[in-house]
Amino acid sequence: MHATAVDRASAVVAVEVSALRGGSRPEASFLEFVLGVLADDDAMAALPWTLERAGRASGTARLPRRRAAAVAAPLISAAGLAPRSRWVAPRADVVHLASGPLAIELDAPGIVTVHRVDAALRAPSSRADRRRREALRRAADAGVVLHAVTDAVADELVGAAGIDATCIIVANPGIDVRSEAATVGIPPVDVDVVADTSSALGAEVVRSIRATGAATARLAEPRGVLAATCVVVVSPDEGFPAAALEAMAQGRPVVTRRNPTTGALLGGAARFVDDATAEEFTDAAVGLVASEQERAICVTAGRARASDFDARRRAADLAALYARARLAR
């Protein structure tokens, strides 16, 4: 029997891949980055696993097709063993909770990735919210590394959630820089409005742009291949602006909402709106469609900014994150 990548590796990282089942969230983009880094690392191997209720089979997660061969380890499920802990992680050298809940028993050094700090974490009003914040604090006290995807998220963890700054490490995710050839066969349009399919604002922006008669528009899924003159990203709570950066990597001018994270990571490369109304997004998008010079400026700046987040460049940051977790306890 041939040894698997997990058998040959000097270290095994158990990566929780539940977010891949949704496939459209920024967390899914981050997971593709994580699995890709581990696929290219001879010393570390990925052990994908998914969160399931105790006693149920794990099923399968929708792993990225291009990574399927590299991620050959069996997908296993977490089972709740203790009355106060619904989940338990598999045994490994490092356990990475990339998107799942924190009520979990970690027998190995652990990493919890925090993609955003929402209102419930800042000011918990329910028992569940308070338990969630306390779980973060207990994890940090126990030596779990809290991985913030941006400086803004780290600042929120310290200021709003009361986490000790020494327990937090900031490492920006990498993005998948897609080829322009991937747009072949996709009907062109003036504006792709990137939003979750359930987003009322996204649909409203599409209607508003169409109503001007100056541009065509359609709703596009986050992380999709885009074939538009410009892209509007309406998602307001995205901790790491993966959709905007991936659009920039595809050579598309981007309009998005200004917040501490987008201002820091996209400043000078995107066009921002402050109030995030349909009218604001419409005015900015129609203006870009009408100005070839403005689009050219955005495309040049956007490609340069996106290249800073190429997954290969960010791989070293992730490797350092795993090394720190192994040494944490």
pLDDT tens column, 205-236 = 999 999 999 999 998 876 555 678 999 999 76
Q: Find the mean pLDDT for residues 197-211.
A: 89
- Cα–Cα distance for residue pair 48/77, rounded to 1 Å: 9
Looking at residue 4, what DSSP letter applies? P
Yes or no: say if 285 and 232 are a contact pair by the CB < 8 Å rule.
yes
Name the band, by pLDDT with cuts 50, 70 and 90, for residue 107: low
Q: Find the mean pLDDT for residues 235-264.
A: 86
Yes or no: say if 113 and 100 are a contact pair by the CB < 8 Å rule.
no
pLDDT tens column, 276-293 = 899 999 999 999 999 999
pLDDT tens column, 236-247 = 666 788 889 988
- Cα–Cα distance for residue pair 65/68, rounded to 1 Å: 5
> Who wins on pLDDT, 209 or 75?
209
> Who wins on pLDDT, 77 or 133?
133
- Which of 98-112, 115-129, 174-188, 275-289: highest mean pLDDT? 275-289
Yes or no: say if 301 and 283 are a contact pair by the CB < 8 Å rule.
no
- Cα–Cα distance for residue pair 17/5, rounded to 1 Å: 18
> Who wins on pLDDT, 278 or 188?
278
Of the listed ranges 157-161, 179-183, 259-263, 296-300, the least confidently predicted one is: 179-183
Of the listed ranges 44-48, 119-123, 211-215, 293-297, the least confidently predicted one is: 119-123
Start-to-end Cα distance in the chain: 35
Average pLDDT, the chain: 75
Domains and CATH numbers, the chain: 5-174+311-328 (3.40.50.2000), 180-307 (3.40.50.2000)
Name the band, by pLDDT with cuts 50, 70 and 90, for residue 34: confident
Name the band, by pLDDT with cuts 50, 70 and 90, for residue 273: very high
- Cα–Cα distance for residue pair 149/40, rounded to 1 Å: 21
Q: Which residues of 157-173 are buried (b: 16+ CB within 10 A; e: fewer)?
A: bbeebebeeebbbbbbb
Residue 112, CA distances (Å) to 39, 184, 216 in order: 20, 38, 42
- Residue length, the chain? 329
Yes or no: say if 289 and 190 are a contact pair by the CB < 8 Å rule.
yes
What DSSP string describes 280-324? HHHHHHHHHHH-HHHHHHHHHHHHHHHHTTBHHHHHHHHHHHHHH
> Who wins on pLDDT, 51 or 172?
172
Residue 262, CA distances (Å) to 68, 82, 155, 176, 181 in order: 32, 41, 15, 18, 28
Other Cβ atoms within 10 Å of 203 Cβ, number? 16
Yes or no: say if 209 and 286 are a contact pair by the CB < 8 Å rule.
yes
